Amino acid sequence: MKLFLTEPFASQWQDCDPFEAAFSLSGELFRDMGDRRTSRFEFNGAAYFVKTHAGIGIGELLKNLLYLRAPVLGAENEYRAISRLTELGVETMTAVAFGRRGWNPASEKSFLITRALEPTLPLDEYCNPQVLSSMGVEERRTLVRRLAQISRTLHDNGINHRDYYLCHFLLDTSPEMEAVAVSKRPLYLIDLHRVQIRHRTPRRWRHKDLAALYYSARRVGFDERDVACFLVEYKQQPLRQVIDENHRLWRSVSKEAEQLQRKGIRKGYHD
């Protein structure tokens, strides 16, 4: 068993089973995947999110292994990802409680509680062609470079997200940030349960992350000049060198982004 509790949960749960307490928390349900649930709740006057994992079952485990997919077995992967991103200086969630119990990966129970990041707005909801235009070229490019810096930090340290869309970047929209440039506001990377951490990020997974980011950025109004700015920062190379040396990278990213576009149309996510 693994258990990590900070206040106020350490004190409030000292005389009870923390797993039963975590699984019994009630609030606004955000996601219910059967074995995995995400809810927002309030505790001692503060807002939190709890993710509970009840075990995926032997059938789901075997199906994932059959299709050579890494199954999400519990909350520990996201807990580890939060810790690693924090070490690297990437803004993300703050874990305040975590537990894992059980030896069988198909039936283990786990939970993760994080502080609610409020008020925030997903970057793909904040940005649109009008907003990007009103930013001005300098501010827009600064935001693009910031996204590139985060991407480079992840990939150069063996991390890939696997759901690397703009919707998983939360922009601080608190009143005190109204006068602060968008590129200088806190920007939190979330939804880390599928993150992979290795000594080195394989090229294939770098490209998948970049394709997802490009696909979602293009949909809200970022253009090819923004792409060039992103690649210069991401590759840490002058534009001419980026153009001359990264044809394969960009072909791969563009191809995967087009596949995501077609998939989105096919599933009715967008036109």
Which residues are the active-site residues? 163
For residues 269 and 271, what is the distance between their CA atoms, to the nearest angstrom? 7
For residues 158 and 264, what is the distance between their CA atoms, to the nearest angstrom? 28
In 67-163, where does DSSP find H-type helix?
76-88, 123-126, 129-135, 137-156
Rounded to 5 degrees, φ, ψ at 172 are -65, 120
The radius of gyration computed from the CA coordinates of the chain, to the nearest angstrom, equals 20
Report which of 112, 196, 186, 121 is spatially closest to residue 154, judged by C-alpha positions.
196
Q: Is 143 exposed, middle or buried (0-12, 13-18, 19+ CB in 10 A)?
A: buried
Q: In sequence order, what E strands does the chain have?
A: 2-5, 28-32, 36-43, 46-53, 95-101, 109-115, 120-122, 159-160, 169-172, 187-189, 196-197
Alpha carbon of residue 128 to chain centroid:
20
